[in-house]
Amino acid sequence: MTSALLPHDLLWGLTPQQLPADAPAWALAAMAAGQPVVVRRALTAAGQVAVGVRGPLREQRYGTLMAVAAIERRVRPEQLCHVESERAWPALQALARLREPLDGLGLAWGVSGSAGFELASGVPALHRQSDLDLILRTEQPMERSEARVLLALLDAAVCPVDLQLQTPNGAVALREWAGTSARVLLKSASGARLVGDPWQALEQVA
């Protein structure tokens, strides 16, 4: 598990020449600048990984494939939990205040999204209205009552915080699992489906 490529991992090594011929100019520029790509949830052939290229604008997101052999460096969300930044955006202020309580959960957690990208690469990606995106590795089921306690902690932060529970079968939003719906949306490499228990692999709506 520790060596497997997982969603939200940041990878370096994709070059403009490795992008498809129809890739947008901003994606080519990002790769020419040596920026990382982020691992996406998608099924791929052996030796390839689905990745996303980020552009400077929110709507600039480009999905493509990367050869595993081309990877030069990987940074996982867990490696970014205690990375400091001189920038004082609300998302980074929220991260600083949440570190201790999240560490206290006794579970692996990490920083993803714009904050993770900026902390890992040094490329400015945050702004004043940015959310803080986090992941929490939950190999074992989390009680919905526990999810509600954690959500209350996150909702008291100085900016919106979006946390995904990473189960062995895919990811589910903490906010959904803390809610009252009988079924929640589980995102996996094979797609998204509604389930009653994200930790039960084969359960799904008929």
Model confidence pLDDT, tens digit, residues 56-92 = 998 999 999 999 999 999 999 999 999 999 999 999 9
> Which residues of the chain fall short of a pLDDT of 70?
1-2, 201-206
Active site residue 103: no
Q: What is the pLDDT of residue 206?
A: 36
Q: Helices (DSSP H) in the chain: which residue ranges?
A: 25-32, 90-103, 113-121, 144-155, 174-177
Q: What is the pLDDT of residue 201?
A: 66
Catalytic residue among 131, 155, 162, 197: 131
Q: What is the pLDDT of residue 77?
A: 98
C-alpha 67: how far from its chain's center?
20
pTM for the full predicted model: 0.93
Q: What is the pLDDT of residue 202?
A: 57
Give residue 61's identity as a one-letter amino acid code. R
E-strand spans in the chain? Answer: 10-12, 37-39, 48-54, 61-67, 73-75, 109-112, 132-137, 161-167, 170-173, 184-188, 191-195
Catalytic residue among 9, 22, 133, 197: 133
Active site residue 131: yes
Scan for tokens 């909702």, then name that residue: 155
The tokens describing 130, both together, are: 């940015």
Q: What is the pLDDT of residue 204?
A: 45
Q: What is the pLDDT of residue 18?
A: 97
Q: What is the pLDDT of residue 195?
A: 95
Q: What is the pLDDT of residue 32?
A: 97
